[in-house]
Structure 1
């Protein structure tokens, strides 16, 4: 039996995905460190953070670095300190931005980020979930529970926004969803009590919390809609300066950085992440959380599919099928 081939897309320069990514292959499959596992990827989940980080090029990257934060597949090898994970297990994961990522046939991942995938959940759907679903979970965890409080979710038509709507409804918030009109029917089906368009300048309501998925400038513009002692949760950016004067509404400002756990997360926080992630995957599998079916492209189309995410006319979620490249030659 011949050895498997390792295939990946690595970065060659700081540019757009189709210019920056270059295919490479070798007979050498990566080996795990003591606390790592090697995942044979079956699917890769594409996210906006993937093209954004390619264009920003972190200082930890060198030429040939493999991007990609989300993947799903099966365990093929475990490090000597790894417990409770065995070859053949179905796993989804969210990778550290500073390590070689999921744009490959095989990825080395620390044990602490692994999410076991329920047998009834297809890997092609599971891979679409870690980044947007866990971002939504982290965002909703930022605020204290206040049943029947009013919350506003901007950009609610996107993947993070859709999950936020559902998680907020499950916590008995009254949800107003801000999104393009084409998303309003779906958002109401997901539980939003009210839907409003992007051109809405005023609201008759004040909100206990605003979850903004746009940017810091947009989040700041929402401050007038937040009640006293309320919350602004900035998901795609961070508020560098308070949007209101001191001793005004006394708003609490929150930033969301899912990958920040790799820099500073404690064992307790990682255990909470894994438990919440596996519970949420089970909810999707049992249709207690609704996730859209992803658009699937082959591994050879990855750069073009990722570049399409930079446009307005893009699929809600794109997944890359890696299985052709993980078969033994």
Structure 2
């Protein structure tokens, strides 16, 4: 059984056609499927675009068939619930990160596991909330790998991006002494958010910087790639932590009984496949606290670039080519109004 406020039979969605090019996405009418136990139906108001949304279109990272609806982040209102979901969710303003294996957020409506829903505070608008789940929860998961150690030095590499924005602020709130590595154009902004020291990066293969900083950092969070993460490893102190957000280091970067470092990988999508209900409770609690910090003005979100639903492929293509500065979000409600729905 499913309880409905407004359960449509069909809706509009951008679908994958089997091509890596975001501009090849097709706007189609898709049929509603019955909600599964534990799911809700969200009428999307705003969609958040993330790098993963274009990276998966090549097909190497996913097992998709043409017609699949991509997208992982969205916000909107719960309009229907499946079995084993409490009625209190109906009508709630929510944000979510959903599985790549499920129908995604590039649509007017998206089925979402209720355990993954974040509650949007009244002081936070849908646009801002849509920009939060993927980057902020990834940053939280990265820092959750670390044991608490106030005033320990931590380096965040690739800090100019969305994940870095949240990682810098959350690490500073946790009492770490935060250094960043990124393009100098980001330094003033990151200093204002809690970074004490800034280094230019990413590093090339010939850089001697890791050796000049040998044994300095308790932890390094790298959001560039696995090769860059390994390149930074000499800067770790004994028993330090190397946390990889983009890929993972395949070979151990130090000899046995050398730095005795710990290696970590971070992938928010893994939660959908392997996370328990208890894991999701912790993650959702973290997401709700992040949204509350934004509502209270204690945490800065990204500057927003809001586009129309019909321009979604163009905005995703611009994100792929890094030709935009800011967080791209897509307003579904304006499209619904334009077509008279």
Q: TM-score, normalised by structure 1?
A: 0.95
Match of 1:138 in 2: 141
Long gaps (5+) in structure 1: none
Match of 2:3 in 1: none
Q: CA deviation at 1:168?
A: 0.7
Q: How many residues align?
A: 327
Q: CA deviation at 1:85?
A: 3.8
Matched-pair contact (CA < 8 Å) for 1:151–1:210:
yes
Q: CA deviation at 1:324?
A: 2.8
Does 236-245 or 88-97 show the bigger shift?
236-245
2:147 pairs with 1:120: no
Q: CA deviation at 1:185?
A: 0.3
Q: Secondary structure at the match of 1:309?
A: helix
Match of 2:161 in 1: 158
Please give the alpha-carbon distance, in whole angstroms, between the structure 2 residues aligned to 1:305 and 1:85.
35
RMSD of equivalent CA atoms: 1.9
Q: Secondary structure at the match of 1:49?
A: helix
Q: CA deviation at 1:134?
A: 0.2
Match of 1:180 in 2: 183
Matched-pair contact (CA < 8 Å) for 2:56–2:62:
no
Runs of 4+ in structure 1 off by over 6 angstroms are: none
Match of 1:108 in 2: 111
Written as runs of structure 1 = structure 2, the 5 A alignment for 1:73-92 is: 73-83=76-86, 85-92=88-95
Written as runs of structure 1 = structure 2, the 5 A alignment for 1:175-214 is: 175-198=178-201, 201-202=208-209, 203-204=212-213, 206-214=216-224
Describe the superposition over 1:120-174 as per-residue Cα deviations: whole angstroms up to 9, x where unpaired.
Answer: 1001000000000000000000011110111100111111001100011011111
Describe the superposition over 1:216-252 as per-residue Cα deviations: whole angstroms up to 9, x where unpaired.
Answer: 0000000110011100000111111111112111110
Q: Secondary structure at the match of 2:180?
A: strand
Please give the alpha-carbon distance, in whole angstroms, between the structure 2 residues aligned to 1:43 and 1:304.
16
Please give the alpha-carbon distance, in whole angstroms, between the structure 1 residues aligned to 2:330 and 2:322.
20
Q: Secondary structure at the match of 1:222?
A: helix
2:22 pairs with 1:12: no
Match of 1:289 in 2: 299
Q: TM-score, normalised by structure 2?
A: 0.92
Please give the alpha-carbon distance, in whole angstroms, between the structure 1 residues aligned to 2:88 and 2:143.
29
Matched-pair contact (CA < 8 Å) for 1:46–1:70:
yes
Match of 1:25 in 2: 29
Does 213-222 or 196-205 show the bigger shift?
196-205
Q: Secondary structure at the match of 2:142?
A: helix
Equivalent in 18, 39, 55 of residue 58 of structure 2: 55
Describe the superposition over 1:200-220 as per-residue Cα deviations: whole angstroms up to 9, x where unpaired.
Answer: 742446100000000000000
Please give the alpha-carbon distance, in whole angstroms, between the structure 2 residues aligned to 1:143 and 1:60.
32
Equivalent in 300, 314, 320 of residue 310 of structure 1: 320
Describe the superposition over 1:102-129 as per-residue Cα deviations: whole angstroms up to 9, x where unpaired.
Answer: 0000000111100011011001000000
Q: CA deviation at 1:274?
A: 1.1
Please give the alpha-carbon distance, in whole angstroms, between the structure 2 residues aligned to 1:225 and 1:59.
35
Please give the alpha-carbon distance, in whole angstroms, between the structure 2 residues aligned to 1:84 and 1:130.
24
Please give the alpha-carbon distance, in whole angstroms, between the structure 1 residues aligned to 2:316 and 2:88.
31
Describe the superposition over 1:277-297 as per-residue Cα deviations: whole angstroms up to 9, x where unpaired.
Answer: 111111111111111221011
Please give the alpha-carbon distance, in whole angstroms, between the structure 1 residues aligned to 2:193 and 2:70.
32
Please give the alpha-carbon distance, in whole angstroms, between the structure 2 residues aligned to 1:131 and 1:292.
12
2:240 pairs with 1:230: yes
Please give the alpha-carbon distance, in whole angstroms, between the structure 2 residues aligned to 1:106 and 1:94.
14
